[in-house]
Structure 1
Amino acid sequence: MPHTKITQAYVDGLPYQDSGTLWVHDTELAGFNLSIGQRTKTYYAAGEHGNRFIRVKIGRADVTKANEARAVARDVLLPEIRRGVDPRAKQLSDDDQAYARILAGIREALLDVTEN
């Protein structure tokens, strides 16, 4: 897993992988990552809140520029992840969101019981 500043020139110069996925971690913005697979290069924002690891797809590198993806990660996704908000939940249907709230309530209740 290389660590380097993810720039457009760097992304454009990276070859696709013969097999598997290569993850590149940005040195300028913690949590900003690039995955390189056999056919795609994709930007992600990733972070932890409590014991949860959250990774959110920003966009494919053939559609989204590196500086645009970095701005989305820095200004929108990473702050939400740090606050404990899962940005992926916005993509869920109303029923799925209700189910997620119920599970979160159950989890909190279990944590309260185990702490006392």
Structure 2
Amino acid sequence: MAIQTILICDDSPTDLANLKNALEGTNCNLVTASSGEEVVKKAKSEKPDVIFLDIVMPGMDGYAACRTLRDDPETKHIPVIFVSSKQQKADRVWAQMQGAKDLIAKPYESKEVIDKLGAL
């Protein structure tokens, strides 16, 4: 699968910038969102090839956003990779149960983000 558009969602401007910096070398179109509600809307309008999604956010959290994306015929094919400070084994299992392909624990190295992207 050729990845052309990546949707990044995090409510922290710093974490959003860090993830953008990690993905800049991919030459992909980077689209950002700062809430669960916004990531669901942008997933439908931008049709990204992959979504990097924070879990802990006010309002609709990442788990709820992932379930919404998973249950919608328009977005269910888009792989979701959680990027979160939640990193226990139970968090990884729960992330997969919500429909996510993987989970990257914060703090992370840029190489880890690129490697996960390449694994898709």
TM range (shorter): under 0.3
| Higher RCO (C-alpha under 8 Å, 6+ residues apart) | 2
When Rg is computed on C-alpha atoms for both structures, the one with the higher figure is 1
Return the TM-score normalized by structure 2.
0.24
Q: Give the number of the structure whose residues are more often strand, by fraction.
A: 1
Q: TM-score, normalised by structure 1?
A: 0.24
